[in-house]
Structures are given as structure tokens and as C-alpha cells.
Chain A
Amino acid sequence: MKIELNGWQQAMEHLPEGITNAEIEAERKDTITLTATGGSTGSASASSVTTLYARVGGAVSGTACSQDLGEDLSRLLEDAREAGSYAGGGQLPFHRKEEIYAGGETDCPDTSPEELRALALELEARIRAEEPAILSSSVTIRQERQAMRLVSSEMADTSSASRALVAEISVQASFDGFGCGTEFEVTAGSPEEFQLDQIAKLSAERLRLQKEPVSFTPGAYRVFFDQPVMWNILLTAWQMFAGTNCQAGTSCFAGRMGEQIGSPLVSLSDYPSYPGCGYRYAFDFEGTPCAPISLMKDGVMTGMFHHMGSAAAFGEKSNGRAGRAPLLTSGIPNSYTVTPRIFLMEPGKVSRDELLSQLGDGLRIIDSYDPFHCLDISSGHFSIPCRGILYRNGRPVGNVTSIAIHGTFEELLQSIEGVASDLLISPFIMTKAYCVGAPSVLVKKLMVSGK
């Protein structure tokens, strides 16, 4: 799956005037999806998109990006130089050739559409068989083959390629007239890694947990977060560990390195690859190899996400997390920032059910909504809408909806009394730019509002 960059050496040998360093990075993503619904083949899709990014430095520093594959690479470098001529004079950092990721892999597996379709049909059938109350269900199997290639004016030429599979599950059911649904995603590195029965059971369980709500008294509760709730929080909370935010003082964890922030049960990490997760990230767009990072170890803040610029501000070396803001910048992500790769809370040793048995009297939060607007990175405050189940003496006594949990992220981390082993990793919604993983957790006390 090598990306063709015709004429790159020539472009690098004749850099725009005043430019002494240049890189072109190409990213190609080939995706195929097959959907099964109601026992039949449903919709399908396929795409192949290559994006070219240029960075130049010297008298000026600038960037440009294009999906025009007919564009001359020298023109792209010139566009970057021109953009840089307006910029504020800051220099872009560049690696020496020997510092750039030294791999060169271009092969990655490819499963045929027929096999993917068969997998979707098999999983969809098992899900329907698991719960008779299901009204409609669909399973989409998505194969993403991603390749990166980076070339530089020092004639570095490095590549990587990987393949991820994702199962997207969407199920609607009715229990005695009460309508409910669930949607979630599971990743794997190969078709054989999907645990079909386990996914089917998880779908059915998530449906059965939803029931007509009873009335609710707001206040402080002992709380159990099911896995999706912690996942939703981590989806935004990683930004607190961004070196760029800590440098700018806009993270509530700025200046807290080495401090005990969370409970000793909490460890947060970011990996370039992880068992069971199909996604794999060899190097970032500055060419830095992606190393595993410990962000919080036993409750102590131990690291940040860095690109070359933010690392230099802390006197450190980049850990390979240069990224492009995935949303709300432009059609092609291009805003220079740091992003995680596979960010997760390290799982504990107890099963989810064992941990849930320790809830006693409290509230089990089974789902939450809208992670993007509910957590303030600078203060750490969150106010997250969700739904759950009241427990008394360890037994469920009624469902509650339209409730919200409140507090700060730091208070939440401090209050964690147990971490389950049920880690589930899913890609970031929409752009799939990175992955987040979370287990279920038991929380000593949290404010919960609602009716």
C-alpha cells in the first residue's frame, strides 16, 4: 500500500527560495464498509483518499495541504512558503534524517468484501438471536487500511501501513412498549479477533438495562460508571494532558507534573498500538516515532502529549503525538496540535460484575451523552447528562433518565474506588483520528441531579 509521490526528489532538490528544510507527508486511507440488517445485506461503501501535507522552514516557515493528486509537489512546497511569508516568524521544527522513524513497511492485510459481508451477516444474526425484543438491528463491518509516507529535503523516506477492522452495532428494541436502543463500536486487527458471542451479549445487555424511569432524588451518590460513561469522559479529558494546553496554562493540570492527582487505582496511558485494537500508529506527521506514554501512574501525573514544539517548551523530546485537530477547522484537518493515539485508562483486575457488586446503595450510570460540551478543560468542571439505574443493597430498584452528573475531573479521579477489567477501545467518532479505551469504574461519591 505504498503511496506514490512522483517527483518528490526533484522538488526537494529545488526548494523554494529561502527555504532550507522541507517535508511532504502523504496519508492514504482506503476504507470499505459492508452492512447487514435484518438478516440481509444492506448498504456498502468504499473510498480511497490521499492527502498531501507540506511543511517548509528557512527564511519563513509555512504549511499547505491538498487533495489534488495532479498537483506538482514543487507547487505544494511553494504554497507552503507563500503561506509562511505571512506567518508571525516562528520557526517550524524539523528532525534530522537519522531522527526520523526508520521503518518502511508498506504491506498490510486486506480482507475481501465477501468475507466482510459474511462477518456482518453472522454478527447481526447472533445479535438478533440474543434478544427476542429486538425490532431492528444493523451491523456494519468497516475495514480501514491506512498508509503514511514522509519524505524530506534531507532525502529521508519513511513509510508505515496498517489495517483496522471496526464493527459498528446499532440495535433498537421494545420491551412491553418501552422503546430503547444502543449503538457502539468494537475494533479488531483481524476478523478472527471479533468475539461475536460477546458482542451479541453486550448488545442485549445494554438494551435490557433500559426501562421506564422512576422518580429520583438529586444529591450525592455512590456511583458505578458503566464502560461507555468513562469512555465518553476520556474522549474529551485527554486534552488536559496536551503539552500545548499545559504550556498555555489552559489545562487544569498545567504545572501539576509529579503531583498526586487521582486515586492510586488510576493509571492513564497512550499507546501506538494495543492488543485487540486494530489501529496502529508508527510515527507522527513530524516523523517522530510514536512511543508509549504514561500520563498518570497510580494517580500521579507522569506525562503529557508532545509534538516537537511543545516538547521543546518543557525541555523534552517529542513523544510522537503531533496531530491535526480533527474537527471544526476545515474539511481536511490541518490545525497543528497534539493528539493521542490509543488513550486509555489501564484496566483493573476485577471483573465488571464483581466491581458492581460493591456498589451496594447507589446509582449505576449506564450511558451518557454529548461529551464535547460537558467538560471544561481549563477548570476540569463537568456537567454530563446521562441515565442510570438505582441500586439498593446491591440490587437494581428502578431506572432513572434525564439526570446529570456534576463535579471536576480531578475530584472524579480521586474518588475512584475500583477499576474493572472490561476495557473496551473504540475509535474517535466521525473522523477516527485516534482511539479511546475505558473500563467500568466505581466512584465513592458524586453529585447527581435530575427529577
Chain B
Amino acid sequence: MLTESELRQVLDAAVSTGGDFAELYWEDKEEHNIEFSSGKVGRVTAVRTVGAGIHLLCGNRSVYVCTNDLRYSALMEMAHKAASLLGAGEGNRQAAPFTHREVATPNPVEIAPGTVDTGRKIALLKDVDRVIAGTGGLRRLGIGYFDTDQRVTIINTDGLYTGDRRVATRLRMSATMEGEGGKVLSRWGDFTHPQGFEAYRDMGPVEDFAKNFLNRMTTSLKAEPIRSCTVPVVLDAGSCGTLWHECCGHPLEACAIAAGSSEFCGLLGEKVASDKVTLVDDGTIPGLYGSEAIDDEGHPTQKNILIENGVLKGYLCDRLNGRRLGMPSTGSGRRQDYTYAPISRMTNTYLAAGTDDDEEMIRDIDRGLFITGVGGGSGGREFSIEVTEGWWIENGRLVHPVSGLTLNGKGPEVIKLVDRVGSRMAYDYGGFCGASSGLIPVTSFQPRMRVKAMAIGGTAE
């Protein structure tokens, strides 16, 4: 790491052609990956990512430059390149003296992954493999181990000097399973923890996750197609909250609003959803995959209420797009690593708990769908979500599992039709969200809730 004096000179060089703000993001990340399949250890790889990025702003314009040549001379060269690309003219701004600011992490670490012997990590994989390897119908099983220990330092011309350490471990299970009649299904699932190796002190949760992962595949292989229809849809508590991530979260990111590509443009303060809907994005919640002390612009993460009792209250803002909208940062400027400029992203997005009864939501339905598992999806003017596990409801009872479903529609239309929100919240292990600033860890969750009418794309003729 350069001295503070050198870092200030880099920032001063960046704003030398009229930039009104510059930030330097310095990253040093160590990762460890172990492949394990068919009972054998595969490749073991150590990965080191180091680099720095300079974000230069001038009003609503920005320049981002990055390099992994961390010598002072190379960073000065990049700073001058940024200044040249901005090309605004003469600048007389100088970086303010640094004030060090520390923000407590919501995810403290007990056992740093780098201190754990590789043999212990391999023993963990063997333990998990032993628990599930004999599952019937399993054609292939892979378990990948990933840990990451990322240290970031963020300084800027306003005098901020801060940092964060983000540690996470992850087991990726990937399986191909064969059911009756030769039906084959491939799927993967991540057991994630924003912790060090202490995440595996108690093997119960990871073993439950692994068994549940394969049980769900077994259920899916027995699922029957249904015909396309418009029916009430109940989405179970937990990771079905992906619906909110896709149908509201992405369109409420300031980058989408500033670009005019969101259906929520110009609706601030207006009723956009049913009274039952209060939607929150909160990067401060301890123990969740999307939580961090600060965002990737050095702003402390915070609880952001996006929709309250159906009324649109706010957007998720990074510094640049906040400027474009005339709004302050909401601690939402995030990026995968130093090679990406920060942009407004979600953290932990959830539907706040309501007061409705979980069982009544299903009991009350003549014909409908109960979704208990979703895969990934996409957001934008229209959203889509892969349904990995669901049940057909008839006369208030679950009749059979269903297959081959995708939920898609326009977010503003769907959220107006929410007529039940349960009181029992369930969390989500979390996963990755991909967008223009790369893949970042997020969670999305909810209590059980119901949409009173949704078009379902079934595959049965």
C-alpha cells in the first residue's frame, strides 16, 4: 500500500483537469477453491486478486480507470489517464486531509479461512459427500469449496479514508439426477456463509442443506406439467423473495431510474403496490450474505425502505446516479472487484412481515399454485423467475408437485395484487446477483405471501 502522501498525490492528479471528486479503491483478495467430485479431490487452486481503481466525477459525468500494477508511478499514470479522459479543462481541487473512519462489520470473523489447513477443508468436503453420495438416482455429484477474504481500502478527495474486510465461505453442490422413465435433471445450489471456517463448526446446517438439495431434486423429478392458467399464487417464506429482487429491486436501482429504463420512473411518493407491501433493502443485518460494513464507495450500509404500505418511498443510490437524480447515496454503491466502477445494487432485499395466517393463504384457494423453491431470474421492464419447486393446489390442499414453470410479468402489475403477507419471516442463504458492476453477494427473502391472480406458463397441452 502506498503512503497517505502518495495516495493524496494520486487523487490530486486525477482531479487536475476539473474533476470535482475522485475516489481510489484498493483491493487485496485471497481465495481458495477446491473441486471435489465422485468422492475424489480435484483441482485445488489459490487465487490472489490485487488492484486499484480510480473513480473520477465531474458533475454527472464519470471516468473509471483501474490497474493491477500498484506501483506509485503506475497509479499516477492511471490517474493522469483518468484526468485526460475527463478532459474538462483546468482543475484546482486538492484532496482534503484524510480522516480515518472505521465502521463495525455486521459479519465478524472468528477463524480466517487462510489460517485453516487445506487438509481440513478437504475433510469437510468428504464429510458432506459421505452424507449424500448414496442418494438414489444420483448420476453425478460435485461439491466445490470456495472461501474468500477480501480487504478493501477506500479513500477520496473529501478526505475519507476507510476500509472493510469481507470474508465468506461457500459450498457449491451440483448434481445430475435421473428419475423414473429416464427423466434427467441437473441443478446446483450454494450453501453460503459470510463467515470464516467457524461456519462449519456445527455440521448440522450444511448436512441439512445438502440432503434438502437432493430431496428437492427428487421431488422435481416427480413433478407433473400443468396447463397455462391464471390463478392465485402463494410464494413460501424464504428464498422465494427472489421475486422482489427481480420485479422491484432492479427497477428501483438508481442506475435504472436515471437511464429511464424502469417502470417506476417518476412514481416516488405514489401508490405502486398493495397496502400489504413494505419492501426493504438492508445491508446492515448481521449474518446475511449481502451485508457489509460499508458499500464500495465507503458509505456505511443502511436500512433503505423502498416501498412502505404500498407507497414508493425511495431508490437505491450510488454516488454518481444519486447525483443524476439529485439524491444522496444510500450506501448502495457496489462492485465485484476493482475492475468495475461502483453502481447502485441491492444488498439484502426483503418483504417486511405482515399479519396474515400462513395456512389460511392456501386453505382459501380452490385452484392455485404454491411455490416453494425458485432458481435465478432476471429483472428489467419485465421480470422472470425460474420455479424449481412448486405444488398444485386444489380445494385448499396440495395435490402434486409441478414442473416446467417460469414466472414472468411486469413488476408494477404483480405487486398491486398481493393480498396476503404472513407474519413468519424466513431468511435465504443468498447467492450472486449479476449486473454491470459484476457479481455481488446478495440475499432476498420474505414471509409467505400471496398474489391473488398471476398468469402461469404451463407446459401441458
Contacts and interface: CB of A to CB of B under 8 A. Distances in A.
Contact of B45 (A44, A63, A250, A252): A63
Contacts of A378: 176, 184-186
Contacts of A331: 29, 31, 47, 49, 148, 336-337
B459 A406 contact: yes
Interface in B226-267: 227-228, 230, 259-261, 263
A136 B31 CA distance: 41
Contacts of A406: 404, 457, 459
Nearest to B188: A328
Interface string A29-48: 00010100000011111111
A48 B74 CA distance: 10
B33 A334 contact: yes
A47 B457 CA distance: 44
B260 A66 contact: no
A42 B57 CA distance: 11
Interface in B395-413: 404-406, 408-410
Contacts of B34: 86
Contact of B68 (A50, A376, A384): A50
B185 A376 contact: yes
B120 to A, nearest CB: 11
Contact of B455 (A84, A329, A451): A451
B382 interface: yes
Contacts of B41: 86-88
B376 A373 contact: yes
Contacts of A329: 33, 144, 146
Interface residues of A, number: 81
B459 A136 contact: no
A385 interface: yes
B459 A447 contact: yes
B172 to A, nearest CB: 8
Given A46-B85, A373-B377, A374-B406, A64 B386 contact: no
A98 interface: no
A79 B68 CA distance: 20
Interface string B376-402: 111011101010000000000000000
A48 B52 CA distance: 10
Q: How large is the interface on B (under 10, 10 to 19, 20 to 34, 35 or more residues)?
A: 35 or more
Contacts of B339: 47, 49
Given A136-B259, A218-B228, A383-B405, A87 B85 contact: no
B461 A46 contact: no
Interface string A55-97: 0000000111111111100000001001110111010000000
A49 B260 contact: no
A88 B125 CA distance: 13
B44 A369 contact: no
Interface string A317-351: 00000000001111110111000000000000000
Which label, helix, strand, loop or mixed, suits the secondary structure of the B interface? Answer: strand
A63 B46 CA distance: 8
Contact of B42 (A71, A90, A252): A90
B50 A330 contact: no
B354 interface: no
A3 to B, nearest CB: 12
A441 to B, nearest CB: 21
A69 to B, nearest CB: 6
Interface string B350-379: 000000000000000000000000011110
Nearest to A181: B261
A108 B378 CA distance: 37
B61 interface: yes
A180 B263 CA distance: 9
A404 B457 contact: yes
B346 interface: no
Interface in A383-405: 383-385, 387, 401-404
B51 interface: yes
Nearest to B84: A113
A46 B434 CA distance: 21
A328 B68 contact: no
A249 B140 contact: yes
Contacts of B434: 327, 429-430
A450 B63 CA distance: 43
Contacts of B409: 402
Interface in A360-378: 369-370, 372-374, 376-378
Contacts of B51: 49, 67
A172 interface: yes
A330 B146 contact: yes
Contact of B62 (A43, A335, A373): A43
B78 A46 contact: yes
Contacts of A67: 48-51, 68
B376 A372 contact: yes
Contacts of A252: 184
A87 B66 contact: no
Contacts of B410: 401-402
Contacts of B119: 86
A63 B81 CA distance: 35
Interface in B169-199: 172, 176, 183-186
A388 to B, nearest CB: 12
A43 B202 CA distance: 48
A294 interface: no
A170 B259 contact: yes
Contacts of B184: 252, 378-379
A113 B85 contact: yes
Contacts of A82: 46
B72 interface: no
A30 B432 CA distance: 26
Contacts of A377: 186
A220 B382 CA distance: 23
A250 B261 contact: no
Contact of A250 (B43, B66, B139): B139
B99 interface: no
B228 A181 contact: no
Contacts of B227: 218
Contacts of B259: 136, 138, 170, 172
Nearest to A40: B61
A292 interface: no
A179 interface: yes
B82 interface: yes
A376 B140 CA distance: 15
B40 interface: yes
Contacts of A32: 85
A332 to B, nearest CB: 5
Choose among A42, A86, A180, A370 the residue with the greatest number of B CB atoms under 10 Å from its CB.
A370
Contacts of A379: 183-186
Given A88-B40, A379-B183, A41 B61 contact: yes
A347 B61 CA distance: 41
B458 A449 contact: yes
Contact of A83 (B45, B81, B82, B458): B45
A109 B148 CA distance: 37
A386 to B, nearest CB: 8
Interface in A277-328: 327-328
B122 interface: yes
B12 to A, nearest CB: 19
Contacts of A90: 42
Choose among A42, A47, A51, A181 the residue with the greatest number of B CB atoms under 10 Å from its CB.
A47
A180 B35 CA distance: 44
B143 interface: no
Interface in A151-179: 170, 172, 179
- 3 nearest interchain CB pairs? A449-B457, A451-B455, A385-B384
Given A46-B66, A46-B78, 5 more contacts: A43-B62, A66-B50, A218-B227, A329-B33, A336-B43
Interface of A: 32, 34, 41-51, 62-71, 79, 82-84, 86-88, 90, 113, 135-136, 138, 170, 172, 179-181, 218-220, 248-250, 252, 327-332, 334-336, 369-370, 372-374, 376-379, 381, 383-385, 387, 401-404, 406, 429-430, 447, 449-451
